[in-house]
Amino acid sequence: MNGNIPNILVYHTSEADKYADFLRERGVASVQTASTPEEAMERLPGTDCIMAWRFPTELLSRPEAAAVRWIQSIGAGIEDLMSDPAIPRHIAITRIVDQFGGLIAEYVFAYLLLIGKELPRMMKAQSERRWSPFRVDALQGKVIGVAGLGSIGSEIVRKARAFDMTVYGLSFSGARSSLVDRHFDGAQWLAFVKELDYLVLTLPLTEQTRHAVDRRILHAMKPEASLVNVGRGPLVSEPDLIEAMTEGRLRAAVLDVFDREPLAPDHSFWGLPNVYVTPHLSGQSKFDAVGQFFMDNLRLFAAGEPLRGIVNRERGY
Amino acid sequence: MNGNIPNILVYHTSEADKYADFLRERGVASVQTASTPEEAMERLPGTDCIMAWRFPTELLSRPEAAAVRWIQSIGAGIEDLMSDPAIPRHIAITRIVDQFGGLIAEYVFAYLLLIGKELPRMMKAQSERRWSPFRVDALQGKVIGVAGLGSIGSEIVRKARAFDMTVYGLSFSGARSSLVDRHFDGAQWLAFVKELDYLVLTLPLTEQTRHAVDRRILHAMKPEASLVNVGRGPLVSEPDLIEAMTEGRLRAAVLDVFDREPLAPDHSFWGLPNVYVTPHLSGQSKFDAVGQFFMDNLRLFAAGEPLRGIVNRERGY
């Protein structure tokens, strides 16, 4: 470290220079960039901290990375970092927190309303120049279940209140159970889902949550219920969901995340009835906000104070 | 009137019997129905009060209607009744109030989110099995202008708060101006619209509001702004809006109400780019809630107490 100014490496396959410029414009001089593992390897010696999207974690155990003390992920999910237990324990891992709630909740309600108000039916009638009124259903009075009550889940709950919905929540810690009308824990999935009109997944991916929504859960849901996954693809068993949607067991499934991204062109989800596929865009980080989050953490790091968004490796998020 | 039990005529072209059965099941015996002006004429003698959708108002000045003291409209808008100044002054006119806010606000936010989050772009990419992420815009931080701050406008304001939007309002009375961040009156349309991202019309139709949104106002709006009309068709000049949308002056127009309904199959609106046409379904009355509203008013009427939703004929709503 050069006095109190840490040496920074920004790693991103396409936007490394953009983030580096953001930092330099704010007076941070000691910034290098890398967009490939080879470039990263070359620039690691002397690097104190890394700001990265999908960093090649195997490099962190090498002697070139001896000075690294902190890696800031550009995103809320950090399972790429969690999946590598070889990352030395003295390297702190932080993720972006409290920035995605509003955007993801907007995405969720955009689709809840699209489905609940039957906008595709309205658009089809218009394309046929057909005036055919029908009784439109309401969100008010319906039951939404939010699995995961972190900053994203909490924001969904807040908007659900404005729509006068009944709100159920499932979380492992139970810390925010007072936000919801009924709270369930990780052992109560069946009881949680059976009365829901909308099930929204915002959980982190851990060994406890992988494939939490499988055939058993899908079969327990009401046929008029819809599923929205804005968490991580593997929260849901893809084969079980494909089977359920093919059999018409749910009203709709809205999927922004998948086992493998990008979703392969021949994947069944693209063409299944009542399945809405979007390309992992519900909670994009806003460039400026991410830059500012890192700047704030950098100040804490230089001062030797606790960082924001620190990841608990035992918990997995 | 037969003791304290008024004689009731239910007038509706298709649902008169359904409403009559609702009343009879609740112990109201003296109910007749009519679905044509001829039937209404026949059953008017002795009728004390009328529950009606689009009643042929010319009958109310005839001797057969001598006993009529009250007409309850099945809806929030009553310009059909207002447009006939010959309705005798001793007949009280009531409309349904406080029932449409939630439903109409859901419709408004369904389309604000459809447009703001670019759902049609997402659906098109899916239909082509194309994984193409893009930066999705947000409602948070945008400016919504709500013209009309009655029970419907207030509910839209409430939901806009949950989406962290900046809220402007325009109303004639100014009674609820404290709900919004900036309030404008009927002489300030130009100042009201110029900063808006979304303009939502919920005003009643009066001489002051007819064609309030004309070429001058449409030209003053930002090109990225969208218009939503859930009030009455003639709040907007249809030729001026057709011109504006043809010229691409606005991002989108969402129209649930029109000068003439049903909208003619050859009307330009059906096929204009970025115009969403729906068949006056945003604020349908819920059958049970309307029936209950009338039952409650009937009790007040029989007791000689002031009715709910009474229309001020000078004000026009």
Mapped onto helix, strand or coil, the DSSP state of residue B4 is coil
Cα distance between the two ends of chain B: 28
Q: Round to whole Å and give the CA distance between B120 and B129.
A: 14
The pLDDT of residue B3: 52
Percent of chain B scored above 70 by pLDDT? 99
- Percent of chain A scored above 90 by pLDDT? 84
Residue A3's pLDDT is 52
- Is residue A168 in a domain? yes
Contacts of B162 in chain A (CB under 8 A): 158-159, 161-162
Task: Please indicate, yes or no, if residue B307 is contained in any of the structural domains.
Answer: no
The pLDDT tens digits of the residues spanning B195-227 come to: 999 999 999 999 999 999 999 999 999 999 999
Q: Do B103 and A133 touch (CB under 8 A)?
A: no
Nearest chain A alpha carbon to B125: A278
Question: Same domain for B125 and B248?
Answer: yes
Residue A277: what residue type? Answer: V
**B312 occurs within a structural domain:** no
pLDDT beyond 60 at A56:
yes
A278, B106: Cβ pair inside 8 Å?
no
User: What is the tens place of the pLDDT at every residue in A69-123?
Assistant: 999 998 777 777 888 888 999 999 999 887 789 999 999 999 999 999 999 999 9
B261/A131 Cβ within 8 A: yes
Name B4's Cβ contacts closer than 8 Å, sequence gap at least 6: B302
Residue A174 shares a structural domain with residue A138: yes
Residue A179 — very low, low, confident or very high, per pLDDT cuts 50/70/90? very high
In the predicted structure, residue B80 carries a pLDDT above the cut 90:
no
Q: Does one domain contain both B128 and B239?
A: yes
What is residue A161's DSSP assignment?
A: H
Q: What is the mean pLDDT of residues A140-155?
A: 96
pLDDT value, residue B2: 44
Q: How far does the CA of residue B92 sit from the closest CA of chain A (Å)?
A: 30
Residue count of chain A, please give it: 317
Q: Are residues B147 and B244 in the same domain?
A: yes
Task: Check B126 against A262: CB less than 8 A apart.
Answer: no
Q: Which two tokens stand for residue A204?
A: 């982190």
Q: Which domain holds residue A262?
A: 101-277
pLDDT digits (tens, 9 = 90+) for B1-60: 445 679 999 999 999 999 999 999 999 989 999 999 999 999 999 999 999 999 999 999
Check whether B62 has a pLDDT greater than 60: yes
pLDDT over 80 (residue B285): no
Q: pLDDT at residue B284 above 90?
A: no
| Residue A307, in any domain of the structure | no
Give B83-115 pLDDT, tens digit per residue. Answer: 788 899 999 999 988 778 999 999 999 999 999
Nearest to B119 among A110, A162, A277 (CB): A110
Q: Choosing among B124, B131, B254, which should be mutated to test the A contact, i.e. which has the most A CBs within 10 A?
A: B131
d(CA A307, CA A70): 10
Q: Chain A: nearest CA to B243, how far in angstroms?
A: 20
**Are residue B91 and residue B146 in the same domain, yes or no?**
no
Does A2 score more than 70 pLDDT?
no
Shortest CB distance from A129 goes to which of B125, B270, B276? Answer: B270
Residue A41, domain member (yes or no): yes
Q: Is there a domain that residue A84 lies in?
A: yes
Which chain B residues are within 8 Å of A113, Cβ to Cβ? 106, 109-110, 113-114
Residues B10 and B8: their CA atoms lie apart, in Å, by 6
- Spatial neighbors of A130 by CB under 8 A, at least 6 apart, are none
For residues B292 and B266, state if they share a domain.
no
Is the pLDDT at A185 greater than 80? The verdict is yes
- In this structure, are A107 and A33 located in the same domain? no
Residue B316 lies in a domain: no
Quote the strand ranges of chain A, DSSP E: 8-11, 31-34, 49-52, 70-73, 92-94, 143-147, 166-170, 182-184, 198-201, 226-229, 252-255, 275-277
* Interface contact flag, A284 B114, Cβ < 8 Å: no
pLDDT of the residue at A287: 84
With a cut of 60, say whether residue A295 has pLDDT above it: yes
Does A278 contact B122 at a Cβ distance shorter than 8 Å? yes
Residues A70 and A152 in one domain: no
Mean pLDDT, residues B166-172: 97
Under an 8 A CB cutoff, do B116 and A106 touch?
A: yes
CA distance B129 to B286: 40
Residue B79 pLDDT > 80, yes or no? Answer: no
Mean of the pLDDT values across residues B127-154?
95
Closest chain B residue to A261, measured at CA: B131
Cβ-Cβ contacts under 8 Å, B108 against chain A? none
Distance from CA of A258 to the nearest CA of B (A): 12
- Across the interface, whether the CB atoms of B161 and A162 are under 8 A apart is answered yes
Residues A77, A119: one domain? Answer: no
* B81 or B184, which is more confident: B184
- Measured between beta carbons, the chain A residues lying within 8 angstroms of B132 are 279
B32 and B179 co-located in one domain: no
Q: Do A126 and B276 touch (CB under 8 A)?
A: yes
Q: How far apart are CA A38 and CA A34, in angstroms?
A: 8
For residue A139, the domain's CATH number is 3.40.50.720
A206-220, A239-253, B284-298: lowest mean pLDDT where?
A: B284-298
Shortest distance between the Cα of A77 and any Cα of chain B, in A, equals 17
Asked if the Cβ–Cβ distance from A159 to B158 is below 8 Å, we say no
Q: Is residue B314 part of a domain?
A: no
B296 and B229 in a common domain: no
Is the confidence at residue A274, as pLDDT, over 90? Answer: yes
| Residue A198 binned pLDDT confidence (cut-offs 50, 70, 90) | very high
The structural domain count of chain A equals 2
Q: What is the mean pLDDT of residues B278-282?
A: 96
Is residue B316 over pLDDT 80?
A: no
Determine the pLDDT at residue B1. Answer: 44
> What's the pLDDT at A289?
87
> How many angstroms away from the CA of B272 is the closest CA of chain A?
10
Nearest residue in chain A measured CA to CA from B130: A265
Model confidence band, residue A4 (pLDDT cutoffs 50, 70, 90): low
pLDDT at B119: 98
**A217 and A258 assigned to the same domain:** yes
Q: What is the pLDDT of residue A75?
A: 77
